């Protein structure tokens, strides 16, 4: 179920930071109460291969997100304790030491289930044990959400496990969203900050195409 154009779920989730503090984060409230955009990205597992490259890439770009009034939040289904162990593992040992933004610990999978981003290929009921058997890893795909200051989802994207993300593309999308908010113009293909945008009407489209 696509969430674009809808409010992000109103749910408190455990989180961990680099100081070892466990606390609750409500992504919707982070956006609305702080009047900031939120970039929320999910990754499959701590202590894996592609995942630390993404967490470090978002950390390296953290200043650029902050310039754009945007909070970065990571998330997986690992526990806060596993997050803390990973945060205390050096980068050259596959760890994420130096990452400073909060990381959600959705170990009960309440939020990821609502979002529909878990790797579950099949659920079957076992009458003998009166349990539901799950096929799949039951961890999240690489899902990414951009949420505006009103708590509305403006971007939603999901990559399969082996496909790492391009952090610069999310900065570009946030720039485009900000331009739309401030200028009332729409952003054409391959738009970047400083390039021409378009008036949201047929004349605007014609003028743009004629000049490019």
C-alpha angle 139/161/108, rounded to 5°?
10
* Residues 136 and 196 reside in one and the same domain: no
Q: What is the mean pLDDT of residues 144-158?
A: 98
Structure-block tokens of residue 89? 């593992």
* Residues 138 and 174 reside in one and the same domain: no
Element (H, E) at 104: strand 103-105
* Residues 145 and 185 reside in one and the same domain: no
At residue 137, the pLDDT reads: 83
Best mean pLDDT range from 120-129, 161-170, 193-202: 161-170
Residue among 159, 114, 184, 109 at smallest CA distance from 139: 109
Q: Which residues pair with 16 in a beta bridge?
A: 22, 103
pLDDT tops 90 at residue 73: yes
Mark whether 51 is an active-site residue. yes
* Residues 56 and 130 reside in one and the same domain: yes
Q: Which domain holds residue 185?
A: 166-212
Element (H, E) at 182: helix 167-183
Catalytic residue among 13, 32, 38, 51: 51
Q: What is the pTM of this model?
A: 0.91
* Residues 174 and 159 reside in one and the same domain: no
Rg (CA), the chain: 19
């Amino acid at each position: 179920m696509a969430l674009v154009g809808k409010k992000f779920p109103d749910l408190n989730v455990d989180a961990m930071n680099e100081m070892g503090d466990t606390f609750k984060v409500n992504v919707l409230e982070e956006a609305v109460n702080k009047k900031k955009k939120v970039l929320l990205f999910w990754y499959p597992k701590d202590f894996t291969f592609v995942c630390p490259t993404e967490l470090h890439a978002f950390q390296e770009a953290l200043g650029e997100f902050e310039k754009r009034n945007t909070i970065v939040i990571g998330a997986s289904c690992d526990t806060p304790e596993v997050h803390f162990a990973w945060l205390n593992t050096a980068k050259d040992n596959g760890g994420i030491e130096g990452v400073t933004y909060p990381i959600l610990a959705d170990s009960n999978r309440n939020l990821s289930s609502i979002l529909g981003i878990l790797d579950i290929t099949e659920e079957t009921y076992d009458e003998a044990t009166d349990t539901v058997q799950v096929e799949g890893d039951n961890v999240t795909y690489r899902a990414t959400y951009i949420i505006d200051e009103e708590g509305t989802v403006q971007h939603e994207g999901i990559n399969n496990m082996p496909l790492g993300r391009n952090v610069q593309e999310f900065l570009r999308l946030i720039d485009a969203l900000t331009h739309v908010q401030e200028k009332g113009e729409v952003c054409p293909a391959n738009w970047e900050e400083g390039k021409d945008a378009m008036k949201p009407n047929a004349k605007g489209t014609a003028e743009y195409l004629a000049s490019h």
